[in-house]
Structures are given as structure tokens and as C-alpha cells.
Amino acid sequence: MAEDEKLAQRGGIGELRHPAASEPAPLRRASLEEAIAWLDAHGSTLPPEEIGLGEAAGRVAAAEVISPRPVPAGDCAAADGFALRAAETVGAGDYNPLRLSLLEPAAESGGRPGALPPSSAAPIVAGAVLPPGADAVLPFDLAQEKGAALEVFGAVPEGWGIARQGRQLQAGARLVERGRVLLPQDVGLLAWLGIRRVPAVRRPRVRLLVSEPKARGANSFDANGPMLRALVARDGGVVAETGPLAAGPQEDLRTALARALSTGGADLTLVAGRSGRGWDDAAAKTVAELGKLAMHGVALRPGGSAGMGLLGSEPVLLLPGDPLECWSAYEMLAGRLIRRMGGRSPELPYAVREVEAGRKIVSAIGVVDLCRVRLEKGMAEPLGPAESGGLASAVRADGFVIVPAASEGYAPGARLEVYMSPGGVRTQSNSER
Amino acid sequence: MAEDEKLAQRGGIGELRHPAASEPAPLRRASLEEAIAWLDAHGSTLPPEEIGLGEAAGRVAAAEVISPRPVPAGDCAAADGFALRAAETVGAGDYNPLRLSLLEPAAESGGRPGALPPSSAAPIVAGAVLPPGADAVLPFDLAQEKGAALEVFGAVPEGWGIARQGRQLQAGARLVERGRVLLPQDVGLLAWLGIRRVPAVRRPRVRLLVSEPKARGANSFDANGPMLRALVARDGGVVAETGPLAAGPQEDLRTALARALSTGGADLTLVAGRSGRGWDDAAAKTVAELGKLAMHGVALRPGGSAGMGLLGSEPVLLLPGDPLECWSAYEMLAGRLIRRMGGRSPELPYAVREVEAGRKIVSAIGVVDLCRVRLEKGMAEPLGPAESGGLASAVRADGFVIVPAASEGYAPGARLEVYMSPGGVRTQSNSER
């Protein structure tokens, strides 16, 4: 909300002086670059696991997969037709049909077909190995069955209608690269070759500690738990939840984090809420006491009270309790860590569209601004003051622009990169009501 | 494979004359436009269902969702600080601190706070309702606690630090539009407002009848089942499988389709394999006998032996058994039907990038070609003859270009729209081996 942003401009949430004497000295607010460098240093790709093909689509290949054999495995029919000797079709034409003996379709029992007798043709299905002696496959439209005979209405050259061994894939060919996000057709190709399990990067297990909203009463529903679960799933993680934290004494948070430390079962921890510098904002203090607090406060808006550190060797991220700030800090920090650990591209999973600024975009120097914009006639416009507040602004926006710390914003007409919201249908703006 | 394409050019898989006398007369091969028009006429959006928020991300809103109340619900603190009377801060400054009585933090039990006595300040957390009498919230950086007193180092105007009722959302404001694919932040916003269930378009239930590969032996693994399951999931459908079909007598297929007709439980049926005109390609014939065959053979390559019709009132699509042809026919036909029934955009779920053709792209007149391309130095090049064959070509490609039926292809330098493969890391090409 605008009031929030005015307050933040006067010092930044990460730098607010806290009244309690027991509070550790305020940390210097880290730049977004520093925060990202820390995340990248602590977000190594997780080890691989073998998974079944049925769950492979969308997963990341942890190693390259090699074709165990050539495809086709031997010379075979490229399409349904009649296997024959090409030399025996010479001279055939629409007005000069030649006759061959028509064999019965081979039993579909696999194995090698018997040799083709001279002056005969054998029905064959696409992909089947040619009978010895045959050197071409006559297509249906050049043939007509006549009882036990086949009339041939055209000549085909040797090799016609035959797919050669290894034509599609040679033995040892790389089927998928390491790091590839497996597509449905990749799954199909592996299945086709009889490969039933693939090495995939293990999905990051995310411990989610969500604080109850500070202000009780009519507005006291938790947005962050459901939102973070959906965000973690989007980025390929698995949530290992530990239940909500009461917004109360530090002991709750300490107990939850200490239990997490002792039980394991996750690769990283997200603490949502209690990251600020208010009375019960004990997240940073608790991490500092139980592990190592690397930074608290990032020059990012919204999301400035984010922090990060280690519990043992496991990264822990502090996300603001305000849902918009939480969303922004997840997108800019936590999501990157989860994607990296899962072997995915660390970049934001949004399509980027280059558009012109339709109105001036204002940003403070020294802070990276995640500015929610709407596209109007193909131009990006920041949401107006009446609608830029709260999580609703992230729902209303068509996307967002990341204004670097060194920039005061953009003049109308500037070229912007907009991270496009994939929601499809746009939600009504406040001003349209 | 190239042989396949040569054969297809000589008549098209959909027009091959079949040798069996019992075969119905070959159908005219439909244009892709006709096929899409049929699909759109038979793919209405499914009815809504109520779902929990936990499964809402990625689902399609079946109706708009309205805010049940304003946010904030009343005037409240925009950030943590001290609630006070603005008039009592007039004249305060760094060298002229004013003193107010500091109240205890309100118990976090909800409900309305007690009135603020004159010359006093009450600690307040973001989102909490202001105590009667207070008209501003002093930020931490303008205050210092001194025992039971608060020193104020700056004046704030009336309304400072206050988020007004309805500032973020008014009661009755539209939260999400009908047809929107719900994002994590949408889920968060709904949760925040205490909305626990949302109306979503029911996911299309897809009955999958996958024929075993025709040619037995070393290559006889099914690619289509695993691939189609992943494709259906990608497009928001749910697979209700009925097991594989033996590649054998028509009775198997008839039995499976007849059972499907009688049991229900699906919104559409995909039959993969047995769609061609070979000996056991009974799919079209069986649909014609049990229901209504609308078309068989589409001017599309790969995928030309696709067909469609109705079983009762339920659409049934015939997909080729060759995995590449099956993939192409799914992408161009079946996926569109599933996305439409699920309330999603019917368009291909691929990012489109406009690039220049780096080499000539050749296509036959009268057929829509789904041409697999690779990006080389930012230019699109068709896969070479040695690697354009089989499903491996859809895995190797960086994307594909859809060449319209009226086009013979593109000259180098032509601007192309490439449907980009989202796999991330590219798989090695045949030529790089």
C-alpha cells in the first residue's frame, strides 16, 4: 500500500530502528546482487534419483540418456504395404499390371520372418523387419489384391519404402541431455526404446513454517501458506510442512526451527512472517541463535524484510508476513534457490515481453523495485495508487517490471522487459469498477 | 522418416487405397480447418465443480469470485509502529523530542481495541485496527522507548501510517475473472479473504485406448501411452485409462469402445493406433459402426491418418500409431479439444518466437506441415534428412513451424513463427554425433 511504500522510502523496512533493547544491531541491508550471490552459493543441484517414466514429464534429467540400440533395429518397412523384390516390379504400370503370389500376412508373433519365395509378395506392417529376399515395400496405391495374387501397377526401386537400421537413432545416440526438463515426447521416445526408469534431479523438499497473521480479527486468514505451496510446486519443489506458527512468543519459532534441525527431511526451510522488526518478529534473531544469519533486509521492494542464513548446512529463508511482500521475496529469492536445487534454470519462470512504458514509472535509487504493471494498448503502465496496494496488485497486474537499484525509473516511451503473468484472463482493476 | 513422407506425397496416408474388399469407401481427406471446426463444435466447456484452494493453482475459474468484504476491513495500521494522535506530535524533532505515555501492546486476542487516552501512544502491528482516538501511526524510526514513555522525534500528519478501509479491495470487487487460470498469488488472495473453495471448470476426463505397436519384436514398446498421459496432464485433463488394445482383430477395439460407451466416466476418448488403412486398422470402421465417423484422414503431416467422430454424444479422436504422427495429431487436434473442454485457451501451449528462416523449408501444397526446426545462430533451420525421422525429431527440435496448406514452404530469410519447445536444454542432433 502507498503508506507502506512511503514508510519504506524513509528508511526501508530492513533498517527500521527497533525499540527493544535486546534486539541485535540492525544488519546492513544487502543488495539484491549480494542476496542472489549468497543463494547461488548455497543452492547446489540436489543428487539424482531413479524415477518411473510415468512421473518423468516435467522433471529434470540428472544425466544424459543414451539409446540402447539403433532405431529401426534393422531394415524394416517404413509404412504398411507389400514386401517384395524391386526387380520383379520392373515394367509394371497402370495398363500393364504384373502378378505376384500373395503370401498370408505373417503371424504377429515377433521373431524373424521366413524368406520370401521368388515371384511373391508378403503383406507387411510399418516397423516390421523385412523378410530375407525382399528389398522394397510396395505401397497400397500401387497394388490390388486378387485372391491369392497381387496385381502390381507400378515399379518401385530397390530400397523403396524401407527404413534403414539406425535411420532415426543410432545405438549410443544421446536421447536427452543432462539438465533437460523432460517433455511428453521425450517420455514417449524413452518408452518406445523400452527405457522404464530415468535419472532425475531429486525434487527439493521445502519445510514451510508459516506464521499466523499478526493482526487478528476479521482479516486474520493466512494467505502465505496456500500461496507458497502453489509457488513451491510451480518451481518443482515438494512441501514438507510443519504446520503454522502462532504469532506469539519467540519460543514457538525456536521450537519449530530446533525440531526441524534435529529431524531433517527437508533441503531448505522457508519461514514466512515474523521477519520484520516488530515486537514478535523473532525470525532473524532465532536463526542467528540456532544457526548462522547471513543477511536480514534486502534492498528489494516489496519484500525488503527478507533474510537468509543457514541452519546446520541447510539454507533457511525469511520471507515477510505481508502477502504481497512475501510473494515478491519468494519470486526474487526463494524461487531461485528452489529452482537451482532442482536443477532448473534459476531465471524467473515468466515469459518476458519487451514493451514500451505508457506512463512514467517511478522508483527509488538504491532499491530494486518489482513494479506491477498493466498492459494498455500494448504499453506498460504502473498500477495506479488506488490499486498498487497489497497482494491484490499482484493479481490485478498483467506482469511486472524489475527496476534496478541504480535506476530512478523509466520515462514514457522507454523499452521495458515485462515479466508476463501467465494467468490468461485479466482480473478487473480497481479503476474499472 | 523421409520414405514415409515420399509415400505420403504420392497420395497421403489418408487416401491410400486399401486392398480389403470389406473396407468402407475411403473418406475425403479433411482440411485442418475443417477438422478444427468440428473439434470446436464438439468441445464445449465442461460444467463447474467446487474445489479446495489447495488444488486450485493451475485450474480454470468457472465463475468470477467476488471479495466478501473490504480490505482492510477497517482503518488500520499500514505497518508496525505506535498509534497516536497526530496533533500531539506537532513540534517534535530530533532536537526536541516530545514525550507520550507508552501503553502496553494490546493483547493479541482480536476484537476492538480500547480507546486511546490523551497524551499516549499504543504499540500497534501492521493490519491491526486503530484504537478509537488514534488518527496516525508513528513509524519506529521517529520514536524511542524510554521505560513507560515514548520519545517522539518527528511530527506526523493525521492519517499517516494508516491503511484506510477498502484501500486494497472494496467489498464486491472482482478478485478473479471467469476463465482465469489461477496463479499462486490468486490462491493467496482468496485464502487471505477466508475463501476456502472456488468454482473451477471440471478437468476433462480422457479415456485412453492405446493399441500395442504393430510390429512386434525388438522395437515393440509402446511410446504413445506414456506420451499421451503426459500430454493430457499438460493440457489439464485427467486420464481414465482402459488398458492397452492388442494389435489384432477388430473385436478387441469394438469391445473396448462398446464397453466405454456403456460405462461412461469420461468426456472424450482417444484411440491411439489402428487409425491407418492397413489390415488391422479398424479404428475408423469401428467408430463408424458404433457411432458416427465424422472424418478420417486430415491434410496434416505428420498425423495424416487422424480421424474423429462421436460415440453417443462423446467425441472420439483417432490418432496414428506411429509415435511422431501420434504426437503431431495430438498437438494439432486432440490437445485443442481437451483445452477447450477444460475452459483453457485452445491455442497451442507453446511460446511463439518470431525468427528468420536460415535455410529453405519445403512443404507440399494442400497439406499443413508441422516442420521441426532447430535454431542456429537465432535462425530456424529444418532438421536435416538424417534426423527428421520419427519421434526423435520432435525431441531433437528446438521447436516447430506450422506451414499452411496453401504454402510451398519458405525461402531463407522469411519471417517464421516458431512454436518453441520448452525443454530447456537441447538434445544432441544426429549430425553432432
The 3-state secondary structure of B105-117, one letter per residue: CCCCCCCCCCCCC
Q: Which of A176-180, A269-273, B22-26, B147-151 has the lowest mean pLDDT?
A: B22-26
Q: From B20, which residue of chain A is nearest by alpha-carbon distance? A: A145
A424 and B179 within 8 Å at the Cβ level: the answer is yes
Residues B378 and B355: their CA atoms lie apart, in Å, by 7
CA distance B261 to chain A (A): 27
* A98 to chain B, closest Cα gap in Å: 16
Set of chain B residues whose Cβ sits within 8 Å of the Cβ of A7: 78-79, 139, 161
Of A292, A188, A377, give the one whose Cα is nearest residue B324: A188
Test mutation, B219, B353, B433, chain A, max A CBs within 10 A: B219
* The C-alpha cell that represents B317 in the structure block: 479422436
Residue linked to cell 461412461: B264
Record: contact A421-B183, CB cut-off 8 A = yes
Distance from CA of A387 to the nearest CA of B (A): 6
What pLDDT, on the 0 to 100 scale, is given for residue A282? 85
Out of A160-174, A262-276, A401-415, give the one with best mean pLDDT.
Answer: A401-415
pLDDT attached to residue B246: 65
* Three cell numbers, residue B174: 472482482
**CB-based contact A65:A116 (threshold 8 Å):** no
Cell 518453441 identifies what position?
A: B420
Using DSSP, state whether B325 is helix, strand or coil: helix
Look at the alpha carbons of A47, B393, B429, B1 in this order and tell me if their dihedral is positive or negative. Answer: positive
The answer to whether B16 contacts A139, with C-beta atoms less than 8 Å apart, is yes
CB contact at 8 A, B222 and B212 = yes
User: Least CA distance to A67: which residue of chain B?
Assistant: B392
Is a pLDDT exceeding 60 seen at residue A109?
A: no
Q: Say whether pLDDT at B167 is over 50.
A: yes
Amino acid at position A369, single letter:
D
B83 pLDDT band, cuts 50/70/90, is: very high
Nearest to B180 by CA among B298, B57, B268, B79: B57
Chain B interface disruption, residue of A180, A189, A374, most B CBs within 10 A: A189
Residue whose C-alpha cell reads 515393440 in the numeric block: B220
Q: Percentage of chain B surpassing pLDDT 90?
A: 65
Look at residue A248 in the predicted model and tell me its pLDDT. 62
Query: What pLDDT score was predicted for residue A433?
Result: 35
Residues 6+ apart with CB under 8 A from A156: A86, A89, A136, A137, A138, A142
Joined together, the cell numbers standing for residue A49 give 534419483
Q: What are the grid coordinates assigned to A146, written together?
A: 486378387
Q: What is the rounded average pLDDT of the residues B202-210?
A: 95
Q: Which three cell numbers stand for residue A243?
A: 504446520
Of residues A212 and B367, more confidence is placed in B367
Interface contact A128-B16, CB threshold 8 A: no
More confident residue, A409 or B265: A409
**Residue A262 burial class via C-beta count within 10 angstroms: exposed 0-12, middle 13-18, buried 19 and up:** exposed
How high is the pLDDT of residue A9? Answer: 37
| pLDDT at res. B433 | 35
DSSP code at position B333: I
Q: How far is B89 from chain A (nearest CA, A)?
A: 17
Q: Alpha carbon A21 to chain centroid distance? A: 45
Chain B residues closer than 8 Å to A71 by CB: 219, 390, 392
In three-state secondary structure terms, A431 is helix
Distance CA A336, CA A37 (A): 11
Please give the pLDDT value at position B281. Answer: 78
**Inter-chain residue contact A80 with B276, CB threshold 8 Å:** yes
Per CB-CB distance under 8 Å, the chain A contacts of B7 are 78-79, 139, 161
> DSSP character for A172?
T
Q: How confident is the model at residue A215 (pLDDT cuts 50, 70, 90)?
A: low
What DSSP string describes A2-51? HHHHHHHHTT-GGGPPPS-TTSPPPPPPBPHHHHHHHHHHT-PPPPEEEE
What mean pLDDT comes out for the span A172-196? 95
CB-nearest partner of A215 from B125, B215, B421: B125
- Residue B19's pLDDT is 38
Question: pLDDT tens digits, residue range B224-255?
Answer: 999 999 999 999 999 987 767 765 666 778 88
Mutation target for B interface from A192, A208, A239: give the one with most B CBs within 10 A: A192
CA distance to A212, A355, B369, B399, per residue, from B415 (Å): 54, 20, 16, 15
pLDDT in tens, B97-142: 999 999 987 554 455 678 999 999 999 887 788 899 999 999 988 9
Q: Residue B289 above 60 pLDDT?
A: yes
- Tally Cβ neighbours within 10 Å of residue A235: 24
> How does strand A351-357 pair with strand A379-382?
parallel
Minimum-distance CB partner of A168 among B167, B217, B390: B390
Mean pLDDT of chain B: 86
Q: Do B229 and A54 touch (CB under 8 A)?
A: yes
The shortest C-alpha distance from A359 to chain B (Å) reads: 22
Please report, rounded to a whole number, the percentage of residues in chain B having pLDDT higher than 70.
84
**Residues A230 and B184: beta-carbon distance below 8 Å:** yes
CB-based contact A126 B322, cutoff 8 Å: yes
Determine whether B178 is exposed, middle or buried from the number of CB atoms within 10 Å of its CB (0-12, 13-18, 19+): middle
Mutate one of A227, A231, A277 to test the B interface: name it (highest B CB count within 10 A). A227
Q: Count of CB atoms within 10 A of residue B90's CB?
A: 11
Chain B residues inside the 8 Å CB shell of A424: 179-181, 344-345
Provide, as residue numbers in chain B, all residues whose Cβ is less than 8 Å from the Cβ of A29: none
Inter-chain touch B425–A20, beta carbons under 8 Å: no
CA angle A361, A367, A370 (to 5 degrees): 50
CA distance A363 to chain B (A): 20
What share of chain A in percent tops pLDDT 70?
84
Beta bridge partners of A101: A120, A149
Mutate to test the interface with A, among B183, B324, B353, B398 (most CBs of A within 10 A): B183
What is the pLDDT at residue A188?
A: 96
Which pLDDT value is given to residue B141?
Answer: 87
Q: Using 50, 70 and 90 to split pLDDT, how confident is the model at A265? A: confident
Report the gap between the CA of A207 and the closest CA in chain B (Å): 17
User: Judging by DSSP bridges, how do beta strands A379-382 and A368-376 pair with one another?
Assistant: antiparallel
Provide the grid cell at A59: 522433471
Cell of A35: 542476496
Pick from A92, A96, A98, A101: nearest CA to A119: A101
In tens, the pLDDT along A115-138 reads 999 999 999 887 788 899 999 999
Which stretch of DSSP H or E encloses residue A22?
none
Contact A221 B193 (CB under 8 A): yes
Say yes or no to pLDDT of A86 above 50.
yes
Phi and psi of A7, rounded to 5°?
A: -60, -45
Residue B78 makes CB contacts below 8 A (sequence gap 6+) with A1, A3, A4, A7, B126, B137, B161, B162, B163
Burial grade of B115 (CB within 10 A; 0-12, 13-18, 19 or more): exposed
Average pLDDT on A53-73 reads: 93
Contact A433 B173 (CB under 8 A): yes
How many angstroms separate the CA of residue A61 from the nearest CA in chain B? 10
Q: How far apart are the first and last CA of chain B?
A: 19
CA angle, corner B334, sides to B329 and B338, nearest 5?
160
A243-252, B47-56, B278-287: which is most confident: B47-56
Q: How many residues does chain B have?
A: 433
Model pLDDT, residue A430: 42
Min mean pLDDT across B4-8, B39-43, B293-297, B362-366 is at B4-8
Q: Which of A145, A185, A212, A383 to mutate to test the interface with B (most CBs of B within 10 A)?
A: A185
List the single residue in A79, A227, A422 with the smallest CB-CB distance to B7: A79
Q: Are B191 and A223 inside 8 Å of each other by CB?
A: yes
CB B227, CB B209: distance < 8 Å = no
CA-CA distance, B186 to A426, in Å (whole number)? 11
**What is the SS3 assignment for A195?**
coil
- Of A145-159, A197-211, B104-118, B339-353, least confident by mean pLDDT is B104-118
Chain B partners within 8 Å of A276 (Cβ)? 80, 126
Q: Which residue has the cell 500376412?
A: A105
Are the beta carbons of A388 and A429 closer than 8 angstroms? no
Q: Rounded to an integer, what distance in angstroms lies between the CA atom of residue A256 and that of residue A248?
A: 13
> In this predicted structure, what is the pLDDT of residue A19?
38
How close is the nearest chain B Cα to the Cα of A55, in Å?
A: 9
Highest mean pLDDT out of A10-14, A279-283, B28-32, B305-309? B305-309
pLDDT-derived band at B278 (thresholds 50, 70, 90) equals low
Contact A133, A84 (CB under 8 A): no
What integer pLDDT is reported at residue B248 of this predicted model?
A: 61
Q: Do B126 and A322 touch (CB under 8 A)?
A: yes
Please write the tens of the pLDDT for every residue from B35-81: 999 999 999 999 999 999 999 999 999 999 999 988 888 888 888 89
User: Which residues in A lie closer than 8 A to residue B423 (C-beta atoms)?
Assistant: 180-183, 186
* Residue A80 with chain B: CB contacts under 8 Å: 16, 276-279, 281
**Mean pLDDT lowest for which of A246-260, A306-320, B55-69?**
A246-260
Question: Could you tell me whether strands B205-210 and B238-241 are parallel, antiparallel, or unpaired per DSSP bridges?
Answer: parallel
How far does B354 lie from chain A, in Å, by closest CA?
13
Cβ–Cβ < 8 Å for B305, B14: yes
Secondary structure element (H or E) that encloses residue B402, with its range: strand B399-403
Q: How confident is the model at residue A305 (pLDDT cuts 50, 70, 90)?
A: very high
> Position B181: which residue type?
V
